[in-house]
Amino acid sequence: MYDVDKVPFSRYGSYWSIVGIEWGKAGKGLYLLVLAAQAPQVFKIDPVHGGEVVGFDVVTSPTSLVLKPEGGGEIEIIIDADDAVRVRGSHVSLRLEMPKGRWHHTHPLPGDAWCFNMNPHGVQIVLDPMHGEISMDAPWRQGKGFCYESEHMIATVNPDAAGTFEIAIDDILTTWVRPERKAFDLCRQNVEEEYAAWTENLPSAPSEYEATRDLAAYVNWSAVVNPAGYVKRPTMLMSKIGMCNVYNWDNVFNAMAHCQHQPDLAWDQLVMFCDYQDEFGKPASNFNRNRMGSTITNAPVHGWGLRRMWDANPAMMTPERMEEAYDFLSKWTDWYSNHRTWPGDSLPYYQHGFDCGWDNTSLFDHGVPVVTPDLAAYLILQMETLVDLANALGRPGDVASWQGRRDAMLDALLTDLWKDDHFVGVVRPSGEIVDCESLIICMPIILGKRLPEQVRKHLVARLREHLQPYGLATEKVDSPKYIEGGYWRGPFWAPVTMIAVCGLLEIGEEELAGKIVKGLCEACRENGFYENFDPITGKGYYDTAYTWTSSVFMIFAEQLRNKSNRVRTTPMGASGISGVFSVDECA
């Protein structure tokens, strides 16, 4: 079903994944990862015949991984409902090598089990032989410092007299007690049933994109982890390869993709950062099970995302959820006004490219902080959503306040940051005007008809200058700052593609929007759900299974599937945002 070198094997709720990657001296191979801080590689997985590592083929499915070794035999891997990795094999041995790391060590436990302590990562792993025998090669030596550690750690699991073995691998915090384990076949059946339930009512897709939609559904399902540590709700990580975090704007695109398919999960994705909102109103910027970060501000696309979800699935907006969203978004919006607006200014600023999510965009080349047009645009829409929420909650005083603040920020955006025929940034405190060739200055297109007609025309013209065969280059390709594969200096990204498309459709630019949609869908069909793509060739870059990419693909594919061959990117609702294009216009 998928290439395990690009898409990790995992399951909903699990903190494990298995993926084919390159890792230091251990080299290219199939690795078991634990999704704690920095996603450390736990074991390199290899079949063994006659004491020698042998090659193998991998058969993938959403619920199991099967290794077919050279020389015969079979190894099957699943993840059970208790988040134990279950491995069974027949007529072959299994070699598990933990990549060497400082202060890593292993030691035996009663009952023939072994514990592996990865102290720098805050992780302990237990290898439990259910049948078969474990042979351990782990010399005890003094490390580079003054502490002793395991020089290397290689466990070989050999079959019993019947030619079979079965092991379980547990991830523990402090204490291991051997659990009662369900039978392997029953565990596999349970996860198959769970995945089948997930695939019900998936977003639809045109026939040519159905296989890609199915892969996107698997990527998102398998990227979810259960509450643990800093994770308070079921949480869709950005990836179960390296980017094993959730970041406070990536999550919004995942929420929008599943607001009809899995509304409870979608809601948790949208508002999860309200669980870590400080006394000033600022939410955390990212977290995983082991760590939380708060030093970045993030792009506030949440109000825009909520309005789309509300329009698409009004039934999900209960009074309790409206209250939760209003509290979260109002405090965060006030934080921008009170703590990220330079004295005398009307518009807020970012302190670094990390804050807007465009880490290395050329907009920040002249220094920081920078007052940017995208931030103001997102906050204008967030305040508009707060107007809708206040109306629904019966708070007329708040309605008037948010309306006034929204209108004032729109006026300031056009007065302070629109110069001649384009938006600019302003460095504080110097007041230096920043002209750049980054796509980021086009993001106010999301405001659609709220912008004056001449501003809209110039933004559309500039977007056309960024458009390449597969997508919108994040830096113009003729800019001296364009870099092939240069993260936010060239490659195109799914989330900002969606932002641009929604703005274009609201102002009637159906043909341009259709080309952009088709380009992203083709890049995903040809190459998978990379973190970003080359706008000229469609080649994927960086993380190979990134959930905001798969989510935006599902949103676009569902739009293309509209039975009348007409697509509405945002259902008409209180926001008044809507747009349609024909499939023919996407060609």
Q: Is 470 in the same domain as 328?
A: yes
Q: What are the tens digits of pLDDT across the range 300-340?
A: 999 999 999 999 999 999 999 999 999 999 999 999 999 99
Q: Is 96 in the same domain as 217?
A: no
Per-residue confidence (pLDDT) for residue 119, from 0 to 100: 83
Q: Is 542 in the same domain as 580?
A: yes
Per-residue confidence (pLDDT) for residue 564, from 0 to 100: 36
488 token code pair: 């936010």
Q: Are 528 and 215 spatial neighbours (Cβ–Cβ below 8 Å)?
A: yes
Q: Are 436 and 419 spatial neighbours (Cβ–Cβ below 8 Å)?
A: no
Comparing CA positions, the residue from 586, 579, 50, 551 lying closest to residue 259 is 551
The average pLDDT across 260-268 equals 97
User: Is residue 378 a part of any domain in this protein?
Assistant: no
248 versus 144: which is more confidently predicted? 248
Comparing CA positions, the residue from 492, 576, 506, 503 lying closest to residue 541 is 492
User: What's the domain count of the chain?
Assistant: 2
The average pLDDT across 191-195 equals 98
Q: Is 172 in the same domain as 202?
A: no
Q: Is 212 in the same domain as 162?
A: no
User: Is residue 432 a part of any domain in this protein?
Assistant: no
Q: Is 140 in the same domain as 210?
A: no
365 versus 587: which is more confidently predicted? 365
Q: Tally Cβ neighbours within 10 Å of residue 133.
A: 13
Name the average pLDDT for the chain: 93
Q: Is 547 in the same domain as 503?
A: yes
pLDDT beyond 90 at 573: no
User: Is residue 152 a part of any domain in this protein?
Assistant: yes
DSSP 62-96: SS-EEEEETTS-EEEEEE-TTS-EEEEEESSEEEE
pLDDT beyond 80 at 375: yes
pLDDT band at 128 (very low <50, low <70, confident <90, very high): very high
Q: Are 114 and 99 spatial neighbours (Cβ–Cβ below 8 Å)?
A: no
Per-residue confidence (pLDDT) for residue 39, from 0 to 100: 67
Residue 163: which domain range?
A: 16-176
Using the structure block, give the residue that is written with the tokens 């024909």.
582
Q: What are the tens digits of pLDDT across the range 496-537?
A: 999 999 999 999 999 999 999 999 999 999 999 999 999 999
User: Is residue 425 a part of any domain in this protein?
Assistant: no
Q: Are strands 286-287 and 349-350 parallel, antiparallel or unpaired?
A: unpaired
Angle (CA) 40-42-44 rounded to 5° is 120
Angle (CA) 507-436-453 rounded to 5° is 20
Phi and psi angles of residue 461, each rounded to the nearest 5 degrees, phi first? -60, -40
User: Is residue 8 a part of any domain in this protein?
Assistant: no
Q: Is 219 in the same domain as 155?
A: no
Per-residue confidence (pLDDT) for residue 567, from 0 to 100: 41
Per-residue confidence (pLDDT) for residue 121, from 0 to 100: 83
Q: Is 153 in the same domain as 220?
A: no
Q: Is 162 in the same domain as 266?
A: no
User: Is residue 231 a part of any domain in this protein?
Assistant: yes
Comparing CA positions, the residue from 312, 313, 317, 311 lying closest to residue 392 is 317
Q: State the CATH number of the domain containing residue 306.
A: 1.50.10.10
